[in-house]
Amino acid sequence: MKQRPILIAVIGYIIGILWGLYFSISMVLCYILLLAIYFIIKKFARNHKKRKFKLLSIYRYSRYLKLIFDKKVIFILIIFSLVSNGIIHHQIYQYENTYQERENLQSKAIVVSQKKEKQYYDLYQVKLLNSKPFYLYIQVKKNEKELEYGDKIQLQGKYIKPQEKRNYGGYDEKQYLRTQKVIGKIKVGQVKVLAKRQLNPIKQIANDINVSLKKKIEDNLEKGKAGIVKGLLLGDTTQIEEETKENFRISNISHILAISGMHVGYIAIGIQTLCQKFLGKRKTKMITISLLVFYTLITGFSPSIVRAVTLTVLTMVAGLIYRKKDTWNALAISLLGILIYNPFLIFSVGLQLSYIGTLGIILFRITFLRILNFIKNEKLKEMLAVSLSVQIAILPILLYHFNIIGIYFLITNLLVSFIIGPIMIIGFLSLMLKAFAVPLQLGIGILEEISKFSQLPLAKIYIATPGIPSILFYFISIFLLQQIYKIYHLHYLSPTQRRVKNLIALFRYQFRLKKGKFRKRMSVILLIVMLFKFLPGNLEIYFVDVGQGDCTFIVTPQRKTILVDGGGSLSKEFDVGKQTLLPYLLDRGYTKIDYVIISHFDQDHVGRIIKYHERTAGEKCSHF
């Protein structure tokens, strides 16, 4: 870490953001308190007498922290955490002062997104002129006005403040919109186009290319497959059917629809294959860097593509200036840039999965290659190692956000690994030659068939939402297990690794000496835990906000669960049972209901329960 100040800086920056979001106490005051505690402990340590050897001693092992946290590291952490803490507090203040209900809002704005079609209206993102650096969504009635990227408009309408989460652990619209730098929506009454193409010419050209490529994909392919190809090549998943998205997500292959290192890698390889022979390595790298930056612009600067392109570009720049590449620094630079642009992107699920998945590959790939050494096929071994590394790393994040775990991820990812390369190459070629549309449709059809693993038994097992302490414990555990594995399987150990190995041996020796005493203590602890488990708890009654309708969730003192009604007026756009009630129960920590009570059979009281009963009849279901 001493050699990677940027990595330390981004860790400090993240600490400052999280502190500002979740703690009301001043960070400066906290640092002053910690500094005072440090000097007190240091003074006490100087005056203490020589102590008897203790295997479990805070003082003994606290000394090892000095190997990691020296003065330089602590200084960087404090400075960057204080900077980000100040920034997040300032941005929260700006957001809160901007939120206000106004019946008649009149303003000039520039359209900064393409149209998103909803059931009753079209949605555009706009930037208000002469205002704070935030964006708004505007809702325009269907067939009333067609707007284009870069249009300067005069609009009049009602401002709609974003909603906070209505239920425990529920969807927080305000938090999500902040990841987009959006402060709310305007229900437009009147809109008038004042001028065309008012954005930066480079952005306008990039958007024109994006629109042209999408139109070409739509003209050459069937509607359903065109949506998948647009997601695969351009990162636009808005036209993929919800059922298809669900199948991809449950089958653990939805990552191919988010542009990432895989996509960037194939683009870089393709450019180098075409140009290197004629232009040489240096010129080819320069062209690749330029095209990757432009590709990032075309696809909309999502966190996953920014990470992937930054890593690739910095690796190539290191080669151009004859420096050794450093993946950790490249990863830190990209993340720091993203969080400086918008600190609230720390909540982005895509960013979390992208960076934690990459960290998984960096940390665990070599270990899994050693474990899978019995596999002779090197390509197969590499694919399995990468897939396992990613899944091990992102598992708690998937459970936290989606509450689903499946047992087929290795099979689906392995199958996808074999065919995704050819599909992407054919996909890019089809943008230039229509003749490649037929094999591309065939390849997308194979992907759709792989996604149907989601319909097999045990493909979708619901898990209660893990708490933050559980997630931290998981990450610490897998990291320690990996380090212990390395200690016992590496031929050459560093002095620190040898010291840890000796400590483990000392622990085992001490345990054997005091085995009886240890067993007694563990028996007492287990007995206490079991007694607490069987003690009656409090009666808990929760009223769940399901919109139109009623729903009550009860937990008895004997920990039996009762659901009274389920809410749920029928709607094509929003499934109350799937998107509100089920996540609520999982966030509360329950994966089954013991009793369901129906007060009466109106749709707004029981519609979702009936629908789920019909859908899951004859199937094993853990939530109803």
Short-list 548, 553, 575, CA closest to 563: 553
pLDDT of residue 620: 41
Short-list 340, 431, 436, 354, CA closest to 9: 340
pLDDT of residue 618: 40
| Average pLDDT score, the chain | 84
pLDDT of residue 376: 87
Tell me the C-alpha distance between 505 and 254, whole Å: 44
pLDDT at 81 exceeding the cut of 90 = yes
Tell me the C-alpha distance between 418 and 121, whole Å: 41
Tell me the C-alpha distance between 238 and 259, whole Å: 14
**Cβ proximity of 567 and 549 under 8 Å:** yes
How confident is the model over 430-468, as pLDDT tens digits? 888 888 889 999 999 999 999 999 888 888 888 999 999
SS3 of 81-126: the string is HHHHHHHHHHHHHHHHHHCCCCCCEEEEEEECCCCEECCCEEEEEE
The model's pTM: 0.86
pLDDT of residue 315: 84
pLDDT at 83 exceeding the cut of 90 = yes
- DSSP one-letter code for 241: -
Q: Residue 140: which residues within 8 A CB-CB, separation 6 or more?
A: 121, 122, 123, 124, 147, 188, 191
pLDDT of residue 325: 80
How confident is the model over 254-307, as pLDDT tens digits? 888 877 777 788 888 888 888 888 888 888 888 988 888 888 888 887 777 888
Mean pLDDT of 315-344: 87
pLDDT at 619 exceeding the cut of 70 = no
Residue ranges of domains in the chain, CATH in brackets? 5-98 (no CATH), 105-199 (2.40.50), 207-462 (no CATH), 540-616 (no CATH)
pLDDT at 616 exceeding the cut of 50 = no
Tell me the C-alpha distance between 257 and 227, whole Å: 10
pLDDT of residue 615: 46
pLDDT of residue 246: 87
Q: Residue 122: which residues within 8 A CB-CB, separation 6 or more?
A: 115, 116, 139, 140, 141, 142, 147
Mean pLDDT of 189-195: 90
Q: What angle do CA 333, 335, 336 make, to 5 degrees?
A: 65
Residue 75 φ then ψ, to 5°: -65, -45
Treating both helix axes as pointing N-terminal to C-terminal, what angle do 281-299 and 303-320 enclose, rounded to 10 degrees? 160
Short-list 345, 475, 473, CA closest to 17: 345
Tell me the C-alpha distance between 74 and 35, whole Å: 11
Among 46-60, 104-118, 311-325, which is the least confidently predicted range?
46-60
pLDDT of residue 516: 81
Treating both helix axes as pointing N-terminal to C-terminal, what angle do 409-430 and 378-402 enclose, rounded to 10 degrees? 100
Q: Residue 204: which residues within 8 A CB-CB, separation 6 or more?
A: 149, 150, 197
Q: Residue 298: which residues within 8 A CB-CB, separation 6 or more?
A: 206, 209, 210, 213, 234
Among 404-408, 540-544, 546-550, 583-587, which is the least confidently predicted range?
546-550
